[in-house]
Amino acid sequence: MRGVIWIVLLFTVAVVAATTLGSNDGLVSIYWRGWRTDLSLNLFILLVLGLCVIGVAAAHAISRLVSLPRRAGEWRALRRERAAQAALRDAMVEFHGARYGRARKAAAKALALQDDAPALGADGRFGALAHLLAAASQHRLQDGPGRDEQVQRVLDAAHREAGIDRGMDDAVRLLAAEWALDDHDAGRALELLAMLPPGVARRTQALRLKLQAARLARQPLEALRTARLLANHQAFSPLVARSLLRSLAAEVLDDAHDLQQLKTVWQQLDPADREDVPVLARAAARAVALGAAGQAREWLQPWWNRLAELDRDERDLVALALFDARRGLARDWLPRIERVLQTHGLDSAVQVAAGGAFVECGLWGKARPLLEAAALATVLPARTRRAAWRELAALARREGDDARAAGCDREAARID
């Protein structure tokens, strides 16, 4: 097809030339100092065209000859730029291949070549990537001072030059925070994360790093808030998120050293945490440990009133927490205890909680069968069964039955 087109064009040119130049009637006379030269018009036109072609070719040749030094310099700069790019790629390959010493040398070579390549001199990202690869390699080689020096160079360049955008600066801070956590330097990690813009600080990776730093710095409340954000971002599976939030809430509550601090911490918890029965039970246990059983019962009372709405595990947690907080229980609890016994009187945890409440209210006859059933229930924790036997021993001593009291003490001692 291409050959046919060329033939058609050739015939077209021939027709145009024959039509235009077919009549050779024109004459061009040239006079020069008494000399005269006569040329046909067609020949003159061809000579003029030929001279134009020769002139253009000569001008092009002269231009290329004059620009030869400049083009040679551009070629050498291109070679240096390609060599620098190749060195940076080699550094990345060596780093991911776990050859960190070679990666650091390749990154240093790329930085050295960048200084000789004008095109790369203004490319802030190239230098930042090379410094980051060198820093990452030095981190793997446990060269902390060298790594920090490379990171600081990138941060200084980001503040000094416009060639490095904000994204690179954020990436450097995230990496530096991660490396600080590897060094167990929670303060440095939190400082770097605090410098991030709000949008970057809400990213999943930034929140993960903040969670690790807060836990390492023993800031359970901050860790709990961060974990809540991660759970909202679906960074964990629901089961893992629930377990993590409960453990962090428990750490927050266990850090309270007096009742007032415990109340403050309880109010600072997220409403979803305060509605979680295991967290509630942990708060009640901490209140009992601080000698505030009344406060524990105050927190447990709304849940005890709607115990039927809870599942079996949650009912057991509330009941066992009430048993631990039984000291000083008033008689106004008795109607609540009776209502729960009517619906869940066969649950061992409810039995031991009711038995402990009856003992505190002086209803020893009603307490004994409940405590005896709970003491023999292997589903209850060992400490609860042991406490039930000791309550039975105390009841026996009040009645003057020392033999039965001694038997109850022996049963309590047998429980591991």
pLDDT in tens, 278-300: 999 899 989 988 888 888 888 98
pLDDT in tens, 325-366: 888 888 888 888 888 888 888 888 888 888 888 888 888 888
pLDDT grade, residue 250 (50/70/90)?
Answer: confident
Top pLDDT among 163 and 390 is at 390
pLDDT grade, residue 122 (50/70/90)?
Answer: low
Three-state secondary structure readout of the chain: CHHHHHHHHHHHHHHHHHHHHCCCCCEEEEEECCEEEEEEHHHHHHHHHHHHHHHHHHHHHHHHHHCHHHHHHHHHHHHHHHHHHHHHHHHHHHHHCCCHHHHHHHHHHHHHHHHHCHHHHCCHHHHHHHHHHHHHHHHHCCCHHHHHHHHHHHHHHHHHCCCCCHHHHHHHHHHHHHHHHHCCCHHHHHHHHHCCCHHHHCCHHHHHHHHHHHHHCCCHHHHHHHHHHHHHCCCCCHHHHHHHHHHHHHHHHHCCCCHHHHHHHHHHCCHHHHCCHHHHHHHHHHHHHCCCHHHHHHHHHHHHHCHHHCCHHHHHHHHHHHHHCCCCCCHHHHHHHHHHHHHHCCCHHHHHHHHHHHHHCCCHHHHHHHHHHHHCCCCCCHHHHHHHHHHHHHHHHHCCCHHHHHHHHHHHHHCC
pLDDT in tens, 44-56: 777 888 889 998 9
pLDDT in tens, 26-36: 777 778 877 87
